[in-house]
Structure formats: structure tokens, C-alpha cells
Structure 1
Amino acid sequence: MTAEQILSHFRPGPVTRDLKQFVRKNAFSKQYLFIRKKGDTTGYCSFCEKDVPLKDRSSLKHNAKTTCPRCRREVTLKHVWRGIKNIVDEAYVYHFARSVKNKQMITCQTFYVSRFLDSNPGAIKYSPSCYYVFSRQGAKMMYVDPYYRQYVLTQSIYTKHPSGGLYYGWQGKLAVNMASLARALPHTPYQYSAWEDYTDMNEQILRYFALFAKHPQVEY
């Protein structure tokens, strides 16, 4: 497969509503309630991703623990005018889907996800990292070179460590969307791979799928 052939199995706009929901609920360890300006009557919840009303503003001190009045999630209060660049959150997310070109194939795409960019509480950036395609004929992998922004085809399937390349020292959270995998597998050859026994492998399940593509009887 060429890079163009691999890309043809993915949506042109890869950041789907399902992916956004997964990131919101699972990709970050902490949640925050931001007050943008002094005297604001609303705050922005990083979990709800909504503006919420603030009733008793006198007790809303910077870095205090509180509860979002909308989702009841425990959050840390942040005054945006004091600066929030020091709390940039990062995650490395695995998201599965059915190929848009061949419904017998499944795909996996990984993203670096960053939020609170440029002191904007609502800003979230998705940077594609790796592309995986699994079919009856085998498994293919491609990644984006962080230096030259070029696609690189690999000889085998592996899980790319998120701290490599330009992301050396990266300390974000790794999150694997197993629910998206469960939705992608029905009516494909991989539904018979006994994948349910290996969900605790998290991202390493990709290596099991590559083995299953090569040896379909491996489940026995």
C-alpha cells in the first residue's frame, strides 16, 4: 500500500463527534472551571465544554477545588487572567473505526491531543500521528514524521511511543478507545479473533490484530 491508499480508508475529517466525546471523558486526568475575567457571572467547565452560571463568586478562589454546577464534576478553579499556560494538558489517543472504503476492514488512528492552547480554555488541538489498516490480506502501518510532516510507511506493526521525536519528555496520558473498537469489529473477519480476551492489552491489541491478519487460526 502507498500512503495515499492507506489514507483512503480514513475519513477526510478524522475528528469525529465520537472521538471528541471520548477525549472529553477519558483523555485527561484533571478537569477545570475557568473564569475568564474578573466579575464574570459564568465560568467555562473543561469537562462540560460549556459556560455555566456562577452564583457565589466570592468563594471562587484561584486553584480552589469546587464542583461544576452543571455536570457535578470535581474541578479546579482557574482565573484565566492569572495565566493558564502552565496547565497545558496532553494525551495520546487511539481511536478505531471501520474503513470508509471497505467495510470488511478496520482502521486505527492515533492523535496527540492538547488543550488550553494560547490561554484559551476551549482550545483543543488534534495532531494525527499513526495510521493502521487491518484486512484479510494483512496489516499496514504509517506514521507522520514530526520533523518533516511526511508520511512514513513501516515494515511491521508496532505501537509508537508518544514521547518520541519532537515529543521527547512528553508526559501526557495514553487513552485507548476500546468502545470504538467494539463498534468497528462487527461484520468483519476480526470479530472472530477472540479480541475480547485481549482488551486488557490496551494499545498492544494492535499487535495481536497484526498477528491474526497473518495467521487467522491464532485464536485457537
Structure 2
Amino acid sequence: MNIHRLRRLFSLALPLMLAGCGGPEGSVDLTGYSEIACTNQGISVSDLTLTPEPDFVQLRSFDPDTRALSVSVSSSGQSCATATDVTACETALEDATVTSGFHYNCTRECRQHFLVTTRGDEVKTYSSQAELQQLLGTIDTEQEAVLQAFASNYSFVCGTQEQGAVKRNADGSFNVIGTNGYACGPGTKLTQYVLKVTAAGTVQKLETRILEEGDPVCPAGQ
């Protein structure tokens, strides 16, 4: 076999070798992307076009093992704004809970998430991706696309486009950049994902890249 044939075979095999290792290293090109919308606690639930429109939307997290009191991640609107019995509505909202949720994550502590809404006297929870999709309907805003990707168990870091970004595509879909994993300890890695979220809410994986390989010696507490 001559040297030219060897070079050609290597050039054909290289992409397969990289794919087998989890994708190339370093972030994708972020041109055209913007940071995801966030609050101080995490991703925002603003900029949602819901029909019928609720008075209030809140994203909560909870410990699925202890089922301790859920914690607000973000909220939008005024709770129980059109309720005929505001006190009863507020009590139901405070007590709203679920037994399981979406986006199960144990990077620091194990948490699941759900949405709760109020509209008139009605308080409703949405604890699965199917229920979230039913609430969102057609995915027509950037933040709705981010929420769909979040419910598909991809993570985001606010203020860092490499780990949390979104852009609208010409065909009405959205590209969302999220991550999975962490870089702390032998064999670990932080992986970046480029996802396509369609108007129907389908989340498709387009590309993966390794942002960081884990340090074999992981500092205590991380």
C-alpha cells in the first residue's frame, strides 16, 4: 500500500475516530447566538406565548428523594391575579407539589423540576415534558425552545454562551446550546450540545463537543 493511499484512509477514518471519542474539543461557532434569559436562580420563564394565557407561571425545583418543600427558580406574572377567591388560590399555589418532575440533575445535589400556573381560581402543575409541551403549544419563542431543551435533561449556565445560548433559524426552529456532565474527577467531561428544537417541540441533537476533560484530582466540595 503506498503512502498516498494510507493518507487517504487516515483522512476518512479521522472523523469516525473523533465521533467515537465524543466529538471534537472546544465550543462551536457562537455567531448569531444570544445568551438564554435567566434570573438570579436559573433559567427564566418569561417570553412565553401561552394560550389561554395564565396569570402566573413559576418554575420550581425539589428533591425527589425527600420531597422537601419546592424552591422557586423563576416566575412571571402576578399570582392569582384574576381569582375570585384570592386566599384559596394563594394557598393552593403554595401547596402545589408533584411526585416526579422533569430535568433530573445530580451535578451538585439531586433536583427535579416542574411548572405551576394560576389562571382565575385554577392552579395547575406540569411535571413531565409531555405536559410542558401541552402548555407551550407551538414553540415560537427562544425561551420556549430553551425550556423544551431543559425538560429534555440538558443543562444551562447563565451568562456563558458556551453553556447556554439560543438562536432562531429561518425555518422557524431554534438552535439551543446546552451541556451535560461535569469536569471533576477521573473519566469525567463537560460536553457541549447543539440542539435543534422544532415548532412541534421535538428536540434533536445536531452536534456534540467536549468543552473540558475532568481533572483526575477533584477538589473537595466540587
Shorter-normalised TM range: under 0.3
| Larger helix proportion of the pair | 1
Q: TM-score, normalised by structure 1?
A: 0.27
Q: TM-score, normalised by structure 2?
A: 0.27
